[in-house]
Amino acid sequence: MNPLSLFSENQDIRAHYNDNQGMAYLQSKLKNHLKQAKDRQVILLCIGTDRSTGDSLGPLTGTKMKQEFLPGLTVIGTLEEPVHAENLKTTLQQIRFTYDDPYIIALDACLGHLDSVGFITLTDGPLKPGTAVKKELPEVGEIHFTGIVNINGFAQYMVLQNTRLNIVWQMSDAICSIFYKTYLETVR
């Protein structure tokens, strides 16, 4: 096992975005989840805002995935139309109104320990967005991705504002790559 990757026994796995072996394992886990989606509408819900570099992982990834035009995939949350704390509840209401029993995969940036920056996590169960900045938001998703973009600690808003775009971009590319390949192999 590559020392950069960390695989846990519970329902989440994580790998560094530049660890090919770890990313392949994430892809395999995602494939298992997408098989469970069967005939349900798959929605990739990308949470975050383009007003904060660190919090732009979701909308940046959403924009890249939307440009792929994957058949049957609905991408919500882009740089043009971000889903964030102010409109998450409304967005979830619109999803419930529009789709019958969708399979939602949530994606958001998060903060973590210094040695975890650059890791992407795939977890069973809903995402709890806004926890790094102490916001109470609705949980979302049957599974979710998080990308650890910077360190957690004091002044989380400032940390997110001062996160390097390069790491966010690289993580977004890695998530798009595994999602694109897996979706094409599995769903359609």
List the chain pLDDT tens, one digit each, 188 residues. 344 444 444 468 999 999 999 999 999 999 999 998 888 999 999 999 998 888 899 999 999 999 999 998 999 999 999 999 899 999 999 999 999 999 999 999 988 888 999 999 999 999 988 765 567 788 999 999 999 987 676 656 555 666 778 899 999 999 999 999 999 888 65
| pTM for the whole structure | 0.89
SS3 sequence of 16-61:
ECCCHHHHHHHHHHHHHHHHHHCCCCEEEEEECCCCCCHHHHHHHH
pLDDT one-digit tens code per residue, 127-167: 988 765 567 788 999 999 999 987 676 656 555 666 778 89
Domains and CATH numbers, the chain: 10-186 (3.40.50.1450)
**Placement of tokens 């769903």 in the chain:** 187
